[in-house]
Amino acid sequence: MKNTTYEVLLINDGSSDNSETICKEYCERFENFRYLSHTNRGVSATRNRGLNASQGKYILFLDADDEIKNDTIESVFQAFEAYQDEANILAYPLEVNDGKKTVAHVRNKTLLLKIK
């Protein structure tokens, strides 16, 4: 993001693979990355830990199986800045890739909001 400071919290929820090593390598490479670890407590406890540890104005959750485009964080940030007095939660279209093609996620159909 241009002219914006952000932090990245990498939270290991008890992974038994090579996640810890990968996370620590990123933290060594990037000063705005922080690594936290705990025994498996599930997604809600892990996100709450991230919320408690976060120092940022905005929060974006990414799970291990999520992917985002290169401009996603910047576009989400710009949207929040533009609508900061009107929005507390920002939702954007989701896509699913089955290895062969990318299609709209079924939840997109319920993601409609009309402001009067």
CATH number for the domain including 28? 3.90.550.10
Per-residue pLDDT of the chain (116 residues; tens, 9 = 90+): 454 578 999 999 999 999 999 999 999 999 999 999 999 999 999 999 999 999 988 888 888 878 888 888 888 888 888 888 887 777 777 788 888 888 887 777 665 554 44
Is 2 contained in some domain? no
Is 80 contained in some domain? yes
Region for 99 from its dihedrals, namely left if φ exceeds 0, alpha if ψ lies in -120 to 50, beta otherwise:
left
| Res 89: pLDDT | 77
Instruction: Please give, one letter per residue, the 3-state secondary structure of the chain.
Output: CCCCCCCEEEEEECCCCCHHHHHHHHHHHCCCEEEEEECCCCHHHHHHHHHHHCCCCCCCCCCCCCCCCCCHHHHHHHHHHHCCCCCCCCCCCCEEECCCCEEECHHHHHCCCCCC
| Res 95: pLDDT | 82
| Res 116: pLDDT | 44
Is 115 contained in some domain? no
User: How many separate domains does the chain show?
Assistant: 1
Is 29 contained in some domain? yes
Bridge-partner residues for 12, per DSSP?
Answer: 37
What the block records as the tokens of 29 is: 């490479």
